Amino acid sequence: MQKTHKPVTIINADRLVLGRMASIIAKRLLNGEEIVIVNAEKAVLSGKRKSKVAEAKEFLGVGHPRMGPFHYRRPDRIVRKTVRGMLPYKRPKGKQAYKKLTVFIGIPDELKEQRAETLAEAEAKKLTCPYFTVGELAKEIGWNPGE
């Protein structure tokens, strides 16, 4: 019996609200879709930058460097972990769904010619409050884009 391979959905995270995007993607992953997120550093966090950065820095202080919990500073990892938080990842169903998610900073060469979709219900233009990107947050908490 041959396995049917579902097509991969490519989602451009540029100017999408992180939490809304993550919840929509989590539902689609649980339905068996394979999803690739590109431009993770351009996803948007709503709220004032100063308070969100302070919150993130406080969160980084929690845990032990070798035993965890481990906190990521790279934008692609931040987005991936946000989606994981919306999945029942400790159960087999959630673990299987989480494995079908791939996140990239920018757009890799092999995906450049493929069409990426956006999620209209998660767009940042609907926000009335201040907002900033995940890439900006990552730089504030210690991510070095050159690495």
Radius of gyration, CA atoms only, the chain: 16
Confidence (pLDDT) at 1? 53
Query: Distance (Å, rounded) from C-alpha 98 to C-alpha 147?
Result: 25
**Higher confidence at residue 35 or residue 71?**
35
In sequence order, the 6+-apart residues with CB closer than 8 A to the CB of 95 are: 89
Of 100, 87, 115, which is closest to residue 6 (Cα–Cα)? 100
The domains found in the chain, sorted by start residue, are 8-140 (3.90.1180.10)
**Averaged pLDDT for residues 93-119:** 96
Query: What's the mean per-residue pLDDT of the chain?
Result: 93
> What does residue 129 show for φ and ψ, rounded to 5 degrees?
-95, 170
Block residue for tokens 């690739």: 36
Spell 73-108 as b/e; 16+ CB within 10 A means b: bbbbbbbbebbbebbebeeeebeebbebbbbbbebe
Could you report the per-residue pLDDT of 51-101, keeping only the tens digit for each?
Answer: 999 999 999 999 998 898 888 999 999 999 999 999 999 999 999 999 999
> Quick check: helix, strand or coil at residue 131?
strand
Confidence (pLDDT) at 146? 80
Query: Distance (Å, rounded) from C-alpha 131 to C-alpha 18?
Result: 11
Of 142, 146, 144, 147, which is closest to residue 60 (Cα–Cα)? 142
